[in-house]
Amino acid sequence: MIFGRTERGGPPVEPVTLKILVAGGFGAGKTTLVGAVSEIKPLRTEELLTEAGRPVDDTSGVEGKHTTTVAMDFGRITLREDLVLYLFGTPGQDRFWFLWDELATGALGAVVLADTRRLEDCFAAVDYFERRAIPFVVGVNCFDGAARHPVEDVRRALDLDSAVPVVLCDARARDSVKDVLIEVVRHAMAHAAERRHTVTG
């Protein structure tokens, strides 16, 4: 195998599989992102929003949202012949956070999807990954009609470490989502290399 490709006539490559979490606030576009890039039909655990849930599901700014993820979304994308990502979308509401520890087990890294109309909704996800030293990238989902903010403004508003990548994206567009996922893998690998250097150095 040369640079991740099978030599002509060589045996098939057994791909490395990596687990990536997709987190963020309620209505930030996590289910859309997984669906946009998955090469299989995504597994979704969505339920209709009801009047009973209205007191705990704040839909201000996302009034058009009618469903919510109650367990996880699951999808898969092959980035290269030898590299496959498994995507796990987490529920956005805090009443489902007990699932996060289970989903985070074995994860290489994460995407924190941010909606600048409700930026405070992703604070909890940022805090979660920082506390557990799980490398993450912030993807700013550019919704139609929402104000565009410079990346550095978003970084300051979220009080992010300078090493955390912040990228603009469209959760509906496969190529845009793929770029975000590639950034997660790069960042996670750099994070792992730095930790190894710290331990051995």
Q: pTM higher than 0.85, yes or no?
A: no
Compute and round to an integer the Cα radius of gyration of the chain. Answer: 17
Beta bridge partners of 140: 114, 168
Residue with tokens 């991740």: 4
Average pLDDT per consecutive 10 residues, the chain (201 residues; last block may be shorter): 49 88 92 95 63 48 50 88 94 70 93 94 94 97 89 96 96 97 96 83 61
Coil, helix or strand at residue 127: helix
pLDDT at residue number 55: 47
List the CATH code of the domain at 16-200: 3.40.50.300
Domain boundaries, the chain: 16-200
The candidate with the shortest Cα–Cα distance to 72, out of 61, 88, 94, is 88
